[in-house]
A and B are shown apart, each in its own frame.
Chain A
Amino acid sequence: MTTTQVTPTPPTTAKPVTQLGDRIFAGSAKGAGILILVVLAGVAAFLLSEALPAIVAPADELPGDQGLMVYIWPLLFGTLLSAFLALVIATPLAVCVALFISHYAPRRLAQGLGYLVDLLAAVPSIVYGLWGAWTLAPASVGLTTWLNDYLGWIPLFAGPVSTTGRTMLVAGLVLAVMILPIITAVAREVFLQTPKLHEEAALALGATRWEMIRMAVIPFGRSGVISGAMLGLGRALGETMAVAIVLSVSGAVTFNLISSGNPSTIAANIALQFPESSGLAVNTLIASGLVLFVVTLAVNMLARYIVNRRREFSGAN
């Protein structure tokens, strides 16, 4: 028989015949894709160019007279603290809610609850902000007083207790409430996708419902939960209005969650300062926005990395 060695041949030289309509349509689709790249490059470029004056300006001309790093650091700290707080509160709850909807609630109820969670994920952040300031903050005073009385030796609850309740703890709680539906929606989605065969295999081994969930559902859904949590973290980091309305700020860098002296967050600070700012102050705010952009970008990259690395082991395909 003839040799079967594969000889790499160059593609046919004749240009493939394509119709005019095809070329126009493919071109415009491609153009739209390229436009997105241009827009994103534009976001980076314009932010950089508008932030540049603040970066190169002498320290004493900036708001606070201490230089850009000193200005941004407390804000960055507040951003990370509030978002982390929200994540710690929301993730376990979200996993439980997702499990409840996917594996505990009666089937008919589950679909309605799913819709409800999706709906709550879409509620505008301003609504959560108003609720946090109006309802949650006053209601939190009793709890924070109690925490201070009995757990005051922990630095987190050192006090003095804010009388208005507009504390970092409340800001974190509001953010947690906001990202709860987001994480839940993602987690529920992956829990529901657990292969029925895996679940039945576990049950056939005599596993209780919880053992089945631990053996089949959680390992399958883990990367989904992580990516959902990272999505929520990204939202919490960039969330503006809720924090701007709820938090009473002093610029202090502190882990004290229940006093009235709190660091602001980058996003909230921009929202609060921007409308009244001009000149170099605007450039400074844009520079802080750039920092926020970089931080959220890093979180998203990390999430994607984790998900991609985990995917091979999750059994999902």
Chain B
Amino acid sequence: MSKNIDAKDLSIYYGSFRAVEGVNISIRKQTVTALIGPSGCGKSTFLRSINRMHEVIPGAHVEGRLELDGQDLYGPGVDPVGVRRQIGMVFQRPNPFPTMSIYDNVIAGMRLNNKKSKKADLDDTVERSLRGANLWNEVKDRLDKPGSSLSGGQQQRLCIARAIAVQPDVLLMDEPCSALDPISTLAIEDLINELKTDYTIVIVTHNMQQAARVSDFTGFFNIEGTGKPGKLVEMDETKTIFSQPKQKATEDYVSGRFG
């Protein structure tokens, strides 16, 4: 299931504005990679470019190559919609569909794509996904309740269940805990550790302790000033980044001297 991601000299543009410049990164399967850096440094933009979500903004495009196990995600004839089915995403704020029940939220990926499935298969998917998201025991008795009736942390786990229900290869997480309380954050972090056996996980976080806790590798993005493009400064094993980074900027950032 899990796949490698390789970016080769990837630059990301909004119109003629270059938001991210020349990223070379290799994300290995079955690992958790954290992206850290100050606000506006392009880490979220890079994350969203992995499943082509940044193209939601008109005029967005990329240069360079982005490969998923050698397959060029931006090659001619590649449907961004298809890319997103292979690479799932979890957002900053939990966003279950308010018109759907918990059950329907989990299978939304199938239902919205009009896949016909047997009830039994759907039931299996729901249970498997909710178990995978550590939510099954909390909601199994009220699957028909609206997704918005859950607490914030439960909603976020519901969103993770929704993302893994379509069995993607990669799971992108854009500051998944920033809207959650510490207990819920802990639950999500535990979950990330369990999920990495099945998925390649890339997580953007502002919380350096979180990056240190959950990730195997860490990439540090930085920006030289407003209006300049963001860059990947350094990428290494997490403990290296936090103990002996090679770049001065990284050291300043992880030691809290700026940002």
Could you tell me which A residues sit within 8 Å of B by CB distance?
Answer: 1-2, 4, 6-9, 11-12, 14, 16-17, 19
Given contacts A17-B78, A19-B81, contact A9 B16 (CB under 8 A): yes
| Max chain B C-beta neighbours (<10 A), residue from A2, A9, A19 | A9
CA separation between A309 and B209, bound complex, in Å? 49
* Residues of B contacting A9 in the complex (Cβ-Cβ under 8 angstroms): 13, 16, 63
Q: CB of B196 within 8 A of chain A?
A: no
| Max chain B C-beta neighbours (<10 A), residue from A6, A7, A16 | A6
CA separation between A1 and B61, bound complex, in Å? 24
Q: How many residues of chain B get a CB closer than 8 Å to chain A's CBs?
A: 22
Asked whether, in the complex, the Cβ of A12 is within 8 Å of the Cβ of B61, the reply is yes
CB<8 Å pairs between A and B, sample of 9: A2-B21, A4-B229, A7-B18, A8-B16, A9-B16, A9-B63, A12-B63, A17-B78, A19-B79
* Residues of A contacting B21 in the complex (Cβ-Cβ under 8 angstroms): 2, 4
B184 CB to nearest A CB, Å? 30
Asked whether, in the complex, the Cβ of A6 is within 8 Å of the Cβ of B63, the reply is no
Name the contact of B61 in the complex, choosing from A4, A8, A11, A17 (C-beta under 8 A).
Answer: A11
* Residues of A contacting B224 in the complex (Cβ-Cβ under 8 angstroms): 1, 4
Q: CB of B182 within 8 A of chain A?
A: no
* Residues of B contacting A12 in the complex (Cβ-Cβ under 8 angstroms): 61-63, 74
Asked whether, in the complex, the Cβ of B80 is within 8 Å of the Cβ of A6, the reply is no
How many contacts between A and B, using CB within 8 angstroms? 32
Asked whether, in the complex, the Cβ of B229 is within 8 Å of the Cβ of A6, the reply is yes
B234 CB to nearest A CB, Å? 13
Contact pattern, B 97-118, Cβ under 8 Å of A = 1, otherwise 0? 0000000000000000000000
B94 CB to nearest A CB, Å? 27
Asked whether, in the complex, the Cβ of A6 is within 8 Å of the Cβ of B16, the reply is yes
CA separation between A19 and B82, bound complex, in Å? 10
Name the contact of B18 in the complex, choosing from A1, A6, A16, A19 (C-beta under 8 A).
Answer: A6
B39 CB to nearest A CB, Å? 18
B73 CB to nearest A CB, Å? 12
Contact pattern, B 64-83, Cβ under 8 Å of A = 1, otherwise 0? 00000000001011111100
Interface of A is mostly: loop
CA separation between A25 and B22, bound complex, in Å? 36
Closest B residue by C-beta to A15: B76
Given contacts A9-B63, A17-B80, contact A2 B22 (CB under 8 A): yes
Asked whether, in the complex, the Cβ of A11 is within 8 Å of the Cβ of B59, the reply is yes
A64 CB to nearest B CB, Å? 57
Contact pattern, B 15-30, Cβ under 8 Å of A = 1, otherwise 0? 0111001100000000
* Residues of B contacting A7 in the complex (Cβ-Cβ under 8 angstroms): 18
CA separation between A26 and B81, bound complex, in Å? 16
Given contacts A6-B229, A19-B81, contact A14 B18 (CB under 8 A): no
Closest A residue by C-beta to B83: A17
* Residues of A contacting B55 in the complex (Cβ-Cβ under 8 angstroms): 16
Q: CB of B239 within 8 A of chain A?
A: no
Q: CB of B228 within 8 A of chain A?
A: yes
A220 CB to nearest B CB, Å? 30
CA separation between A9 and B61, bound complex, in Å? 10
Closest B residue by C-beta to A1: B224
CA separation between A231 and B62, bound complex, in Å? 47
B11 CB to nearest A CB, Å? 8
Asked whether, in the complex, the Cβ of B77 is within 8 Å of the Cβ of A17, the reply is yes
CA separation between A215 and B29, bound complex, in Å? 62
* Residues of A contacting B62 in the complex (Cβ-Cβ under 8 angstroms): 12
CA separation between A17 and B55, bound complex, in Å? 12
* Residues of B contacting A8 in the complex (Cβ-Cβ under 8 angstroms): 16
* Residues of B contacting A16 in the complex (Cβ-Cβ under 8 angstroms): 55, 80
Closest A residue by C-beta to B225: A4
Asked whether, in the complex, the Cβ of B17 is within 8 Å of the Cβ of A6, the reply is yes
Closest A residue by C-beta to B80: A17
CA separation between A8 and B16, bound complex, in Å? 5
CA separation between A16 and B21, bound complex, in Å? 22
Closest B residue by C-beta to A4: B228
7 A-B pairs with the lowest CB-CB distances in the bound complex, closest first: A8-B16, A4-B228, A17-B79, A14-B76, A12-B61, A6-B18, A11-B61
B123 CB to nearest A CB, Å? 28
B221 CB to nearest A CB, Å? 14
Closest A residue by C-beta to B22: A2
